[in-house]
Amino acid sequence: MSRAVFLDRDGVLIEDVHLLTRPDQVVVPPGVPGALRALAAAGLKLVLVSNQPVVARGLVSEQEVCAVHRHLEALLQSAGAPALDGIYFCPHHPNATLPAYRLACDCRKPRPGLFLRAATELQLDLGTSFAVGDRITDIIAGARAGCRTVLVQTGMHQEKPIEASEPLDTTIQPDHTCADLAAAAEWIVGEMKNQQ
């Protein structure tokens, strides 16, 4: 069993540009490649977990989302970041434009389905893993999966919560809050050292 860090995409790994549909909209903030190097060097698998309701809205296909992710991986690699160990996204939305994607699925954060699928496929120990996100729904999903959570104050952290199919559990708070992914990586690596 491996430990992992689950990473939200928009507002954490890349700039949140709202309704990202094309590879040329992907911008990796300068601190991200180094943060990923530090997390991987600490022995964590790097797993992207992202809600992509743009698919449910009919703005892009799942294949086009995958093309965006291949471009992101190429950008990260050329910036010296380690490869991602897994990429998981939810294409659904409870009020989707496209009927095929209109469901209250288990994989749209704040539900933990993406984390659970990754844990099975990549043999991850969720209880010793971490989750980093810029929205409280990322934190709730990570906590429900059993991970420790870090809220970063980039991206959409000041926006109102996303539409969820149930009321948000307001008792769940992040284990740590910090400026960005670089600071989150520093905290996570420090916590892992403390546990040794």
Residues known to be catalytic: 8, 10
Least distance (Å) from Zn ion to the CB of residue 47? Answer: 16
Among the listed ranges 70-78, 89-97, 131-139, 174-182, the one in contact with Zn ion (CB under 5 A) is: 89-97
Q: Which of residues 97-116 bind Zn ion (CB under 5 A)?
A: 105, 107-108
Beta bridge partners, 50, equal 89
Q: What counts of helices (H) and strands (E) characterise the chain?
A: 6, 6
CB neighbours (10 Å) of residue 81? 21
* Residue 180 sits in the site that holds Mg ion (CB under 5 A): no
Give yes or no for a contact between 166 and 18, defined as CB atoms under 8 angstroms apart. no
Binding partner of residue 69 among Mg ion, Zn ion, none, CB cut-off 5 to 8 Å per kind: none
CA atoms within 13 A on the CB side of 139: 21
Of the pair 54, 90, the CB lying nearest Zn ion is at 90
One of 10, 69, 75, 182 touching Mg ion (CB under 5 A) = 10
The label of the residue with tokens 């964590």 reads 44
